[in-house]
Structure 1
Amino acid sequence: MLYVVTGPPAAGKTSWITAHAAPGDIVIDLDRIALALAGPGAKPWDHDETLLKVAHRARFAAIDEAVTHRDKVNVFLIHTMPSQKATARYTRLGAKIVVVDPGRDIVMQRVRDMRHPGMEAVATRWYTQRRRPVGEATAAQASRAW
């Protein structure tokens, strides 16, 4: 099964996956990929442009391969704001779309406390565009130890 986990930055998408994924499942998370590719001591959510380009390429390749195995293992994919094209692809693949959104106030506070300042604009855009695919909306999501 393919699970596409969407929501604004700092909503708790990674925490949702941690609560639902099992050993052996595939988890595709751009932050985790970038951190794996970064040098020692890199910050978890503050990646430069070059690192993000490489991480995006690795993510696309991982998605393309992982979806071919979704009948054998669960695939969890974090996609903050999927485009209409991406959402259509996920729908064709039979994905279960999960929206993690604890609410704008909580998200904005988490972004201010824990994320790169540029993420505030991404969170604002997520709420403004309301590009949330139809899916299983979650209630307030417990997240990392903030």
Structure 2
Amino acid sequence: MLYVITGPPAAGKSSWIESHAKPTDIVIDLDRITLALTGPGAPQWNQDATVVRVAQRARYAAIDEAVKHRDKVDVYLIHTRPKAKALAQYKRLDARIVAVDPGRDVVMKRIDAMRSPEMKRVATAWYNDRRRRAEQTVTQSPLRW
């Protein structure tokens, strides 16, 4: 099964996956990929443009391969704001779309506490995006903040 996990920055998407995925499942998370591609001491949420570009290419390759194995293992993919084309592709793959949303106020507080201020723009765009209404929404994050 392919699970596509959406939600604004700092919503708890990675934590949702941690509470559902098994050790043998595949998890594709741009933040984790970026961290794996950087040197010791790199920040957990690295927004360096060059590193992110390399990580995005690795992510695309991982998605292409992982979806071939979704009949053997569950695949969890974080995609913050999938566009219509991506959603159509996920639908063809019989993906389950899950939106993790603890609420705008919680998200903005988490961004203030641990993310780049630029992430507020991304979160605002997510909340303004009407496509998310078609997704299943998980209203609570497993994290206690």
| Fold similarity call, TM over 0.5 | yes
Count of equivalent residues: 145
Contact kept, 8 Å, 1:6 with 1:97, in 2: the verdict is yes
Q: Following TM superposition, by how much is the alpha carbon of 1:139 offset from its aligned partner in structure 2, in angstroms?
A: 1.8
Give % identity. Answer: 63
Aligned mates of 1:57, 1:140 — CA distance in 2: 31
**Displacement of 1:55 after TM fit?**
0.2
What amino acid is the match of 2:3? Y
Shift of 1:133: 6.0
Aligned counterpart, 2:85 = 85
Deviations 1:67-89 (A, max 9, x none): 00000000000000001000000
TM-score, normalised with respect to structure 1: 0.95
Structure 2: 5+ residue stretches without partners:
none
Measure, in 2, the Cα distance between the counterparts of 1:18 and 1:2. 15
- Counterparts of 1:90-129 in structure 2 under 5 Å? 90-129=90-129
**Is contact 1:46-1:116 (8 Å) kept?**
no
Mapped to 1, the partners of 2:120 and 2:7 lie a distance apart of 13
Query: Are 2:34 and 2:46, in contact at CA under 8 Å, matched by a contact in 1?
Result: no
Q: Secondary structure at the match of 1:94?
A: coil
Partner of 1:40: 40
Partner of 2:57: 57
Would the alpha carbon gap of residues 109 and 130 (structure 1) be closer, same or farther in structure 2, given more than 3 Å must change? farther
Cα distance per residue 1:42-96 (max 9 Å; x no partner): 0011320000000000000000000000000000000000010000000000000
* Helix, strand or coil at the partner of 1:123: helix
Partners of 2:115 and 2:48 in 1: how far apart? 14
C-alpha deviation, 1:29, in angstroms: 0.1
TM-score, normalization by structure 2 = 0.96
Q: Which is further off, 130-139 or 6-15?
A: 130-139
SS in 1 for 2:76: strand
Gaps spanning 5+ residues in structure 1: where?
A: none
RMSD (Å), alpha carbons: 1.2
Shift of 1:137: 1.0
Residue 72 of structure 1 aligns with an amino acid whose one-letter code is K
Superposed structure 1 runs of 4+ greater than 3 Å apart: none
